[in-house]
Structure 1
Amino acid sequence: MTRRLLLGYLSLAVLILLSLGIPLGYVYSRAEREQIISSAEDEAESVSAFASLSIMAGRERRELPDRARHCAERIRGRVVIVGDDGRLLATSHALSATESRTLASRPEIAAALRGRDAIDVRTSTIGGVRYLSVAAPVVHGDDLQGAVRLTVPTDAVESRVHRIWLLLAVGGLAVLTAIAAVGLVFARWTSRPILELERFAHRLADGQFTTPAPVTSGPPEVRSLAATFNQTAARLEHLLASQRAFAAEASHQLKTPLAALRLRLDNLEAEMTGHARDSLNAAMTETDRLARMVEGLLAMARMEESAVTPEPVDLDQVCAERLLTWTPLFEQHKAQLALLGDQVGHALAVPGAMEQILDNLLSNALRATPLGSTVTMVLRCTAPDHRHLPTRPAWIELHVIDEGPGMTADQRRRAFDRFWRAPDAPKGGTGLGLSLVQRLAHVSGGEATLARAPGGGLDAAIRLRPAPRASQGRPSRIGLPRRARSDRSTPEAAPSSARSPV
C-alpha cells in the first residue's frame, strides 16, 4: 500500500510539473527567438537608413564598408549591402567571386529588392552553424536604392534555450525528490495502522484474541475501522467462548444419560422374551446411533471452535495403522481390507484428521460392502499438469473403494450434507460421517469427493497437498500383512471422490 500511495503522489506531481514546465519552457524559447529576430530587424533598419543617406550623398564606397564592419562586430554576425541592381556595395567579410555574383539571387535579398517596405526573415545553416538571416530594402521615398542583409548566429540563443530547459528539468527532479520524501512519510503514516490492522487480523484468524488493535493512530477512517474490527473480534471471541462452553457442557450432559440408558437397556435384556426382545434390540440400536450422532456433532463443534494449522503427516504410516486396526473387524464380517498403491510420503493435514477420515470412510464401506467382497485403500500421487497449469502443485490422493451398491449421481451430490442418509442405506448410520470427512479435508487444505467405482461400488477420495520436503521427517516403517503389500500397483479407479454417510 505504501508503494501504491507513493506512486500515486509521484504520478500526480509529474503530471503537474509537465503541465507547468513544458508551457513555461516553450514560452521562454519563443520569447528568446522573437527577441533576437526583433534585434536583427532593428539593426537591419538602422543600417538601411544609414546606407540610404550615404548613397544619396555619394559616399557609399567610403562609408558603407566601415559601417558594415562595425555593425557585424556589434551583432557578432555578417552584414552585406547591395545596390538596386544587385551589385555588391559593402560587406563585413570577404566573399568569393561566385558569392558576389549570386547575391541578388539569394531568396532573402531578392525578396527585399522586390518588397521595398518588407523585412524578410529566414534561417539557414552555414558551416554547421545555424544563422538567422534578415534582409531589409534600402529606400528613399519611393525610390529603391538597394538592400541590406544581416546574418546572426543563433548558437547563443539556442544555448540559453537549452540551459533553461535543463534548469526546468533539474528543478522538476528536485521537486519530485522533495515530493517523494514527503509522500513516503505521509504514505507510511497512512499505511502503518492498516498494516497493524492486517497483523491483528492474521492473529484473529489464528485464534488469538488477547490484544485489541490500536485505534489511536492513522486517519480517522482507519481509526474507525480499527474500532469496528475490535468490536467484531470481541463479539467473535464471545461467540466462540459460548460455543466452547456449550460443547463442554453438552459432552458431559449428553454422554452421561445416554450411557445410563444403554446400561439399563442391557440390564433388561435378560428379562425380555419374544417381541419384547426385538423392541429392546431396536431401542439399543437407536441408543447407539444417538450416541454416535452426539460424538459426531461434538467433534464438528470442537473442530469449528478454533483455527487449526495443517502439519506434515506420514500418510503411509497412517494408512498402515488403520489397516492393522480394521482388518480384524473386516474379517469378522467376512470381508477383506487391502492397501495398494505407491509410497506417497508426507501430506499436509490437521493433526488427527486422517485417522478420523479413514475411520469414517472404512466404517461406511464396511456397512455397505457385501459378504466376501474387498474394500481397497489406494494411495497415489498426481503429477503436476505442466501443459495447462505449469505452477499447479501435485496432489496426494487417498481412495477408499468398496464393492457395494454405490450411489446415484444425485445421491453423491447430497452425500456430504449433515444428517442426510441414502434411502437404502444400512441401519446404524447417523448422516454425519461424510460431513465430518469433508470438513476435515477442507481444513487440511484438501478436498473430498465421491465417484462411481469401476466395479459398481463407491470410490471415496481425499486429495491433500504434499508437505514440503524440508518439513518431512524420516518415514517410519510399519509391518503390514503380506497381502497388503503384495501388489503395489494402483488399480484402475474412477476420478477422486469421497463417501456419503450411509
Structure 2
Amino acid sequence: MSRRIALVIFGLLTALLILAVVPLGLSLTANEQASFRFGTESGARQLSAQAEEYLADHKPPTEMNHALSEATERGDCAAVFRPSGAVAGSTACPADLSAQAAALAAAVRPGQDDAVTAQHGDWLVAAVPVGDDGNLTGVAVLARSADPVEDRATAVWGWLAGTALLVLVLGALFARRLGQWVARPLTVLGAAATDFGEGYLEARAPANGGPEEVRELSTAFNRMAERIESLIGSHRDWVADVSHQLRTPLTALRLRADLLAEEAPEPLAAEMAGLQAELARLAGLVDGLLAVARAEGDVPSPQTVRADSVAADRVAAWEPVARDRGLELGLEASGPVKARIGPGHLDQMLDNLIANALDSVPDGGAVLISLSGGRETVVVRVADDGPGMSEQARANAFRRFGRSGTGGSGLGLAIVHRLATVNGGRVALEPTPGGGLTVLIELPAAR
C-alpha cells in the first residue's frame, strides 16, 4: 500500500512539474529569442544612424568606421551599402553571409521604417534603411550569430531540468515517507485483524502512529477485539457450566431408570424400556446442543491437515459400527490431500456426517467418502444410497432442529455447516445419482 501511495504522489508531482517546467522553459526560450532579435535590429539601427552622417550629411566616415569596428569586436558582421549596391564600408564576413547581406539590402525600399530580417544558418541578418524624410541614401546591414542565444537557452533548460530532478528526488523521498506513515499502521492493523481472525484473541493493534483516522480505527478495532474476547470467554464458560450441570443429573437419572427397569414387574417393563430410550435420546440431544455451542464459540486457528489421513482414521473408527449394521463404509482418495482447517474440525464434521449416513441408510446400503484436492480448494464428499432428502428438506437442513426427514435431531448438519464456514469453506447437499444424499464440503487448500 505504501508503494501505491508513493507512486500516486510521485506521479502527481511529475505531472505538476511537467505542466510548470515545460511552459516556463518555452517562455524563457521565446524571451531569449525575442531579445536576440530586438538586439540585432537595434544594432542595425545604430549602425544606420552613424552611417547617415557619412552618406546623407557628407561628413567623414569616422563614426561609421567606429561602429563597424565595434561590430567586429562583438563578433558581428556589418556592412553599409549605397543605393547603387556598392559597399560603403564593411567588416570581414564570410562570402555567403556577405551575399545574403547584399540581397537583403536590395530588398529595402525608400520610406521603409521596419527592419528587414532573414535567417542565414545560425546568423540573423537585419537590414535598416539609411536616410530621413523618405530619402534612401543607403542601407545598414548587421548579422549576428545565434550561438550565444542557443547556449543561454540550453543553460536555461539545463537549470530547469536540474531543478525539476532535485524536486522529484525530494518528492520521491517525501512520498515514500508519507506512504509509510499512512500504510504502516494499516499494515499492522491488518496483521492484528488476521491474527485475531485465526484465533489469537489477544491480538491488538497499536493506536499511536499514522494519521488520526487510522489511530481512531485502531482504537475501535481494539475495543471490538476486547469485547469479542470477553463474549467468547463468557460463552465458553457458559458451555462448560451447562455441560457440567446437565450431564450430571441426566447420568444419575439414567442410572435410576436402569435400576428400576431391572426390578420392574413385567407389565411395566415396556414402559421402562421406553423411558430409557427417551432418556438416551435426551442425553444425545444435550450432547448435540453442547457440540453446536462449542462449534459456535470456537475461533479456529487454521493448520495444515492431511485430510486423507483424517478421513482414513474416521473410516477405521466407524467401520465396526457399519459392519454390525450390515453396511459398507468406503474411502476414495487420489493421494495426499492437504487442507487448511482448525485442529479437530474435520474429524467432527466427518463424525457427524458418517453418523447421519449410517442412521439413514437401510441394511445392505453403502456410504462412500471421497476426497480431491486442487490448488485453492479441497473437496470432501460423503455419499450414501439411503432415502435422500427432498428439496425443501435440503434447504432447511443446516438450521438447528431442521426437519431432514431422517429422524435425527437436526443438529449434526448445523455443526458441520458452522465448522465449515468458520474455516472459510462451504457445505452443500446434492442428490446422489441413483438415489441417496451427497454432502459436499469445500475447504481451503494448504499452499
TM-score of the pair, normalised by structure 2: 0.87
Q: How far did 1:85 drift? A: 4.0
Q: Which residue of 2 aligns with 1:314?
A: 306
RMSD in angstroms over aligned alpha carbons? 3.2
Q: How far did 1:420 drift? A: 0.6
Aligned residues: 446
Q: Which residue of 2 aligns with 1:42?
A: 42
In the alignment, residue 427 of structure 2 is paired with which amino acid? A
- 1:453-493 Cα distance to aligned partner (Å, 9 max, x none): 1111112223344445xxxxxxxxxxxxxxxxxxxxxxxxx
- 1:299-320 Cα distance to aligned partner (Å, 9 max, x none): 2333343432333333333333
Residue 449 of structure 1: SS of its match in structure 2? strand
In the alignment, residue 302 of structure 2 is paired with which amino acid? P
Q: How far did 1:139 drift? A: 2.1
Q: Distance in 2 between matches of 1:135 and 1:272?
A: 143
Q: Distance in 2 between matches of 1:376 and 1:212?
A: 45
Q: How far did 1:160 drift? A: 0.9
Residue 130 of structure 2: SS of its match in structure 1? strand
Kindly indicate whether residue 81 of structure 2 is the aligned counterpart of residue 82 of structure 1. yes
- 1:142-172 Cα distance to aligned partner (Å, 9 max, x none): 2112322222111111111211221122122
Q: Which residue of 2 aligns with 1:456?
A: 435
Contact 1:68 1:80 in 2 (8 A): no
In the alignment, residue 138 of structure 1 is paired with which amino acid? V
Q: Which residue of 2 aligns with 1:299?
A: 291
Q: Which residue of 2 aligns with 1:120?
A: 116
Listed as ranges, the gaps of 5+ residues in structure 1 are 383-392, 469-502
Q: Which residue of 1 aligns with 2:21?
A: 21
Q: Distance in 2 between matches of 1:63 and 1:200?
A: 93
Contact 1:116 1:138 in 2 (8 A): no
In the alignment, residue 367 of structure 1 is paired with which amino acid? D
Kindly indicate whether residue 133 of structure 2 is the aligned counterpart of residue 141 of structure 1. yes
Q: Distance in 2 between matches of 1:438 and 1:262?
A: 31
Residue 141 of structure 2: SS of its match in structure 1? strand
Structure 1's 351 and 216: CA in aligned 2 closer, same or farther, altered over 3 A? closer
In the alignment, residue 293 of structure 1 is paired with which amino acid? L
Contact 1:65 1:92 in 2 (8 A): no
Kindly indicate whether residue 370 of structure 2 is the aligned counterpart of residue 378 of structure 1. yes
Structure 1's 153 and 406: CA in aligned 2 closer, same or farther, altered over 3 A? same
Residue 398 of structure 2: SS of its match in structure 1? coil
Q: Which residue of 1 aligns with 2:420?
A: 441
Structure 1's 280 and 243: CA in aligned 2 closer, same or farther, altered over 3 A? same
Q: Distance in 1 between matches of 2:330 and 2:188?
A: 52
Q: How far did 1:357 drift? A: 1.9
- 1:36-73 Cα distance to aligned partner (Å, 9 max, x none): 2222122111111222221235579x769845741431
* Of 455-464 and 197-206, the range deviating more from structure 2: 197-206
Q: Which residue of 2 aligns with 1:480?
A: none
In the alignment, residue 399 of structure 1 is paired with which amino acid? R
Q: Distance in 2 between matches of 1:115 and 1:10?
A: 60
Q: Which residue of 2 aligns with 1:412?
A: 394
Matches within 5 A, 1:159-238: 159-210=151-202, 213-238=205-230
Structure 1's 354 and 224: CA in aligned 2 closer, same or farther, altered over 3 A? closer
Structure 1's 6 and 77: CA in aligned 2 closer, same or farther, altered over 3 A? same
Q: Which residue of 1 aligns with 2:255?
A: 263
Contact 2:80 2:139 in 1 (8 A): yes
Residue 112 of structure 1: SS of its match in structure 2? coil
Paired residue for 2:336, among 336, 344, 355? 344
* Of 306-315 and 244-253, the range deviating more from structure 2: 306-315
Q: Distance in 2 between matches of 1:359 and 1:413?
A: 22
Q: Distance in 2 between matches of 1:319 and 1:199?
A: 33
Kindly indicate whether residue 232 of structure 2 is the aligned counterpart of residue 240 of structure 1. yes
Structure 1's 397 and 248: CA in aligned 2 closer, same or farther, altered over 3 A? same
In the alignment, residue 41 of structure 2 is paired with which amino acid? E
Q: How far did 1:395 drift? A: 4.0
Q: Distance in 1 between matches of 2:222 and 2:410?
A: 38
Q: Distance in 1 between matches of 2:99 and 2:143?
A: 18
Q: Which residue of 1 aligns with 2:326?
A: 334
Q: How far did 1:218 drift? A: 4.1
Residue 178 of structure 1: SS of its match in structure 2? helix
Q: Distance in 1 between matches of 2:201 and 2:441?
A: 33
Q: Distance in 2 between matches of 1:349 and 1:359?
A: 16
Identity %: 33
Structure 1's 214 and 313: CA in aligned 2 closer, same or farther, altered over 3 A? closer
Q: How far did 1:252 drift? A: 0.5
